[in-house]
Structure 1
Amino acid sequence: MAKWTTCRMIRRCREHCSRLVVLSAVIAGICLTELDVAASPQLLGSHYRADVPYPQFARFWSDNCLLGEDWAESIGRTIPRATTLGGSAHLFIRNDDPQPLTITDVTLQGISLREAIAFSDQRRLRKPASIFFSSLSETERQTLMDAGEPIWWRVDPPTVAPGSVGEVSIRLRHAPKIAELRVECHAANERVPTPVAIQEKLPRIEGVSLDESLARVFVYLKDPQTPGSKPERVFLDGRDVTSRCRMVADPDTELTPVILDLPTPLKRGSLHGLQALYADGRGAWAGVRAFADPFVYGVWGGPGGQEDDLALAQAHIRLLHDLSVNTQMPQVGSAALAAFYKTTAGQQLCRDTGLDFVLSDPGKWGIQNAYAYFIHDEPDAGDAKITGLPPGHEVGSLAQWAISKSNEWRSTAPAAPHLLNIDLTYKPQNYYVYGQLPDVLLADPYYDPRLRTAYWNHPYQLPLYARSTFVYAISSVVRSAAAPKPSHIILYANAYVDEKNNREFRYPTPAGKRIEVYYALAAGAKGISYWWWSPGKPAHGLGGKRPDAAKLRREVGLIGAEIGTAAPLLRCACPSSIPVEPPAALWTRCLLVGQDTLLLVAVNEQYANDREGTVITPLEKVQVRVSLPAWLAARDAFEIHNRGVEPLPITCDGHQATLDLGTVELPRLVVVTADPALREQLDSRYRTLFAARVAGLLSVNPEPTE
């Protein structure tokens, strides 16, 4: 029988920390330790991760939010939805035993979560689970409510291989009313108590990215108590890797970038426990899966057609290549495309054109080694249909079922990430409840339907949706809920045909959709896709034959070339609050890329969307002043657009950089870097991969001809 041992600090912590070392498991945020000797499975540490509220976006959380005279009252009603949040408890275990480790149950406050979060039989397949479906006594249920109301629990992976690390997660609907959670992990006949302290203002790991070698790890730390502070030590899987880290910090920059260079690459898909320990004993934890996939730029749906329409399928795949689309998302909706994807020739054409897949099942169409697998679409919308739950306790009822599905796939396809898409139901709690469940969290903040509904049903909301800030709001919350895991944003790309009422709402404009994309990128999205291609009804997709569909399609391709050029930066970037002085009406956000590069996203907010289109007033003679982090000595500035990489005038006075943007109409992506070779590298990437595609797109006039 595997025997659990406790961990012991090898360096002295602060006085308030030292009293906790005697516990059999180290406590959240104070935790990581090393072992005197290698032994059997080790409980490395635990951590409580509180949700981060975004009250500034409260106006978007209620679909009936009023403006004008009722603004204050309406916002007052939605603020609780933005701030009444929960969190999650995380435990990290290393299996030092020569035998696989299987954790069969986890208890919270002495109550089995396997029994407490019980499945209901009201559905045949996608079964909901909740503590309200269990046979708990009222006393037991109240005990769990006081502990935060567990919604789902997970052991990832379900069986931890010898020498590997597993993560135990417990999602809580609201903040616990008690100061400490009592968690026990059950493995065989062993029970190991694990106190998890509920602490505020703990450091957080906001972002983790790996380079293509899987040997370099980019880590972005945030300490709300002491912004810009460095950790004293860094651990990976319980082993001190501080000597392999490069750290920089600036008190005026909220993030601390850490670069960890490993002696050997991590195994793709493997799970690792990462911790940063600060001098005062506080610490930040994160479970990290080793993925280094390209920035996803995808489409949902397909062109229709019959199974035997080989030419249609081939032409569609080549068109996706011309649009710089690199991923076929699920819900293909095309018999021609599905049939071709099953063939050897079809799969070879996809490889030749760089098209990868997100599949709804491992092995679908006979495709091996797909980029990712899609657990489910919009479980939060499904939560709203579950019966037998008290009001306010619905969202998350399908989470335990989604975990079961993901666990099954993990055993058959361990090297691919799992994706889950969240709708707008129960926002913003839905994003937090599901955020830590998948490897990549998707969300679909469809802006154009909000604008359409404002015109058709709620004209009092027209000022709220005149601009697409809604996309930035959702993208920001989604990134935070998933962090440090990546997020992916799905954007709407359809005209809406309402045959019943004999009316139609236009396609998104090219400029309007471009603004949405850059809002999502500024929020830290690591993937963008469009719903959908299919020319159906009522949503008439991106593949439509009308001129306005062709215009939007071309813009999708031009944006794809820009994103593809910037992808090496975007996939390793993390949003950071950095002092910027833009002119009025220029919206700016910054992202850090490692320790030598900063991205500036600039959006001219002198624009408005209406039922006719998008109106933009350009900004003239624009200069932006940026307070660069102390560690970043700028040697070059340039912008990335669909025509390539273009140098940008920059003047520096110490760490104050002034960028001359000239006339700004559409969003701009600016790079400020200390790397003198970066511009040439990205320019070469553009010329090699995207220049010909852009030339082809610009040579075709989507306007109707006489």
Structure 2
Amino acid sequence: MPHLSAGKITPVRRHNPPAAFRHSNRTLRPMLANRRCSILVILMMGCLPGTDTASHAADRTGPWKLIYANIEPDRLKPPADGNLVPLQNGPGAYLRIVVANRGPDADRITDVALNGVSLRLALQGRSHPRVQQYPFYKQHSIEFMKGGPPKVLLDAGRPLWYRILPSNPTTGIGWTEILVRLRHWNLAKLHVQLKTATGHRMAIPVQTAPGVQPMTLMKNVHIGLATLNSARDRLYVYMLVPTASKQNPVSIESIKVDGTEITATTNRLSGYNRTGVIPLVVPLAKAWPKGSFHLLDCRLSTGERRVCSVRAFNGFAVMMFGANFGGPRPFIERGFKEFHEHYIDSWVSPGGTGSWRQISEDWWQAMARRYGIRLQPNHHHAGQTGAEVRQLAKSDMHTLAYWLFDEPDVNDYFDGEHHGVPLPLRLGLHAQRLVRLSGSLRTADPVHPTTLVVDKTFRPQNYHTYGQLPDLVQADIYYPLAAHAKQAPWDPLAYMYGDTQSARAAFMPKPMNIVVSASPDGGARPPKPGEERIAVYASVAAGAHGICYYWYNAAREAGCQWVVDTWAEIAILNRQLQLLSPWIGVGFPVELPVKTPDKLWVKTIAAGTDALLAVVINRQYISSPDGFTSTPMEQTPVELVLPEGFAVASAASIENDGPRSLAVTQTGDTVRFNTGSLDVARLVLLTRRKGLLNHLRTRWAELER
């Protein structure tokens, strides 16, 4: 899809609506006629509050300027088990617009209209018929409009939600990002209008080329990931360019951050230009303030351009969802001690306002800090008032993120039934409420990010519908609970890797955490240690930046009720994750040619330009309702073709008892190593820097508990 350059806003006289906007078919730069995806034809126009020609002339260089506008189609990768509910007229897309106010006033964007219909008015909320005690627990949908949604909104793509995100005042260019989620691709020419607080209007006509096919969606360019290291002084960016190859290399021509060209200072490796994923690392002059927003602008050598906002935080976490601690304060403290001993660094609090008040108490905060457990207040069905949010959301709390909602897609299904919404149109009912809650939380606490977890209802469109709403996205991929429910074959590798890939495709460019099954909840047997290892490793291989275990259940005397061997395996896995957090927390999957025996599964994750993490899994296992067994592999060779210029200086194998040196040989771009004795799975880290093993051994010793 061709990129569109920024254009200057041209004010025009205001007329009475609906003839308030004049549209032009004039393009800002030549378009590629052979593209099958949507092409935006953009002309920004402002409308003055009066008809005086002198005022019109004086304001011809109005303060608003277009930086970027594009329709971003869903990257639809079918889920592993093929069990999905197709939505009406999919696939969907996001409309992303970035404008900047270059004037002296503090004007701001207040509304978005599609084909002349205000989304602020079209997406009014409706109270839930069964939980009316929570007046803020509303669902929002154009299906609630009197007489049903007008045809112009259906033609526009049946919008589900929109967000207006202004930048921090300190970024210097005063940008605002507007994001509109479309249930399906727009069926006719799309006209977008932005309204400001002072009454200015900016019109953006959007023209769609015919013949859009889902098969083309996997070929589009995306910013795969934009995230920071834990110190927030290095920005990691990965451009996903599926058409790049050895015969068709693609490079990054330009990169800007907050309007400043920083291409010359980035760390790149030209060999990645042929792999389909182009990583680059941006050293920052000073660390970004936690929670601040910034604008990333990337242009490829093909002329294609992608822009997105980036929030300053690192997405790595090892979490536990919920808990039945089995009693009052002593049992809660015992549970947190167990979390610490098992290298868990975050806990999701169940419940709503009452639970949030409890974990805000001094003794809870002190306990969380003592054990290094960052808290996640859960807003599920909470319906907090604005006053409660302002009271409880504080930047000095020991918080990882604000959990906006648990499984909005599941709630869409049931709440849509209560509202009488047809099944294909229920997904997204909770989105606009969560957009508003996110805004309230950002105002009250500008430091900590927001998160939510998407379940498996309406897959894979559920991932896309909610994937751009929070700052950190999580997905329930659950194994073997789903298998027990006959939703999947008994194969943890195919299931976890395949569905995590689908989630990753929808969540780009945001960090992603994956929820794995880790208890006998729901009547299923608990996962065996080998299944747990495969679930965690497969999630990391597909791009997870953290893992959340579901869930913790403790008795008063016995501690954790899980089988002892799986609980011990979780401690081993989490120590490995914590050891590799500097790489996992900024990594992105890259497909590299690999040669191994059929029974060995190998995937690679790029961690910047200097490191590659290889996930190696023994496929000689049997997972069934009765249990899990595996047959070890001995001395199995692995041959990887690395990006040109990636010379391995050191390598380490991450064992149960810590990192060990791994012997590798490299000929040209091909590196070879041997797995040794492999029971279930192993992680291997390859770097272009020396001294890796000593560094890892020091970190491993520091993690001893």
Structure 2 counterpart of 1:356: 374
Structure 2 counterpart of 1:133: 144
Which whole-Å CA distance do the structure 1 matches of 2:557 and 2:402 have between them? 23
1:219-250 Cα deviation digits (max 9, x unpaired): 11122333551122112233322233233333
Q: Structure 1 stretches of 5 or more lacking a match? A: 8-12, 26-36, 63-77, 499-504, 694-706
Alignment RMSD (CA, Å): 3.4
Which whole-Å CA distance do the structure 2 matches of 1:555 and 1:231 have between them? 42
Q: Pick one of 259, 264, 277 that aligns with 2:286.
A: 264
Which whole-Å CA distance do the structure 2 matches of 1:543 and 1:608 have between them? 30
Preserved CA contact (<8 Å) 1:300 1:533 = yes
Q: 1:215 to 1:506 in 2, by over 3 A?
A: closer
Q: Which amino acid aligns with 1:321?
A: H
Which whole-Å CA distance do the structure 2 matches of 1:658 and 1:497 have between them? 44
Q: 1:469 to 1:40 in 2, by over 3 A?
A: same
- Counting aligned pairs with the same residue, the percent is 27
Shift of 1:522: 0.6
Q: Pick one of 478, 482, 488 that aligns with 2:503.
A: 478
Structure 2 counterpart of 1:236: 257
Higher mean C-alpha deviation, range 445-454 or range 340-349: 340-349
Preserved CA contact (<8 Å) 2:89 2:184 = no
2:212 is aligned with 1:190 = no
Structure 2 counterpart of 1:382: 411
Shift of 1:579: 1.0
Structure 2 counterpart of 1:224: 242
1:361-408 Cα deviation digits (max 9, x unpaired): 666598725121010111111111212323311100111111111111
Q: 1:685 to 1:277 in 2, by over 3 A?
A: same
Q: 1:263 to 1:83 in 2, by over 3 A?
A: farther
2:532 is aligned with 1:513 = yes
Aligned residues: 632
What aligned pairs does 1:168-317 form with structure 2 within 5 A after superposition? 168-178=178-188, 182-196=192-206, 201-227=219-245, 228-250=249-271, 251-292=273-314, 295-307=316-328, 309-310=329-330, 312-317=331-336
Shift of 1:136: 6.5
Higher mean C-alpha deviation, range 508-517 or range 163-172: 163-172
Structure 2 counterpart of 1:579: 593
Q: 1:130 to 1:313 in 2, by over 3 A?
A: closer
Higher mean C-alpha deviation, range 157-166 or range 222-231: 157-166
Q: Pick one of 343, 364, 378 that aligns with 1:324.
A: 343
What aligned pairs does 1:450-599 form with structure 2 within 5 A after superposition? 450-454=482-486, 464-496=489-521, 505-535=524-554, 544-545=560-561, 549-599=563-613
Q: Which amino acid aligns with 1:401?
A: R
Shift of 1:560: 0.8
Preserved CA contact (<8 Å) 1:166 1:271 = no
Give the structure-1-normalised TM-score.
Answer: 0.82
Structure 2 counterpart of 1:627: 641
Preserved CA contact (<8 Å) 1:102 1:159 = no
Q: Describe the SS at the equivalent of 2:447.
A: coil
Structure 1 counterpart of 2:98: 92
Q: Which amino acid aligns with 2:341?
A: D
Q: 1:202 to 1:275 in 2, by over 3 A?
A: farther
Q: 1:543 to 1:206 in 2, by over 3 A?
A: farther
Q: 1:365 to 1:162 in 2, by over 3 A?
A: closer
Structure 2 counterpart of 1:436: 468
Q: 1:369 to 1:350 in 2, by over 3 A?
A: closer
Higher mean C-alpha deviation, range 264-273 or range 243-252: 243-252
Structure 1 counterpart of 2:77: 54
Which whole-Å CA distance do the structure 1 matches of 2:267 and 2:285 have between them? 14
Q: 1:605 to 1:508 in 2, by over 3 A?
A: same
Which whole-Å CA distance do the structure 2 matches of 1:112 and 1:497 have between them? 44
Higher mean C-alpha deviation, range 104-113 or range 261-270: 261-270
Q: 1:285 to 1:226 in 2, by over 3 A?
A: same
Q: Structure 2 stretches of 5 or more lacking a match? A: 1-6, 11-27, 34-38, 46-59, 210-215, 380-388
Give the structure-2-normalised TM-score.
Answer: 0.82
1:306-336 Cα deviation digits (max 9, x unpaired): 43x43x3333222211111111112179x9x
Preserved CA contact (<8 Å) 1:369 1:416 = no
Q: 1:396 to 1:121 in 2, by over 3 A?
A: same
Structure 1 counterpart of 2:448: 416
Preserved CA contact (<8 Å) 1:494 1:531 = yes
Shift of 1:528: 0.6
2:688 is aligned with 1:666 = no
Q: Describe the SS at the equivalent of 1:60.
A: coil
Preserved CA contact (<8 Å) 1:589 1:601 = yes
Q: 1:218 to 1:541 in 2, by over 3 A?
A: farther
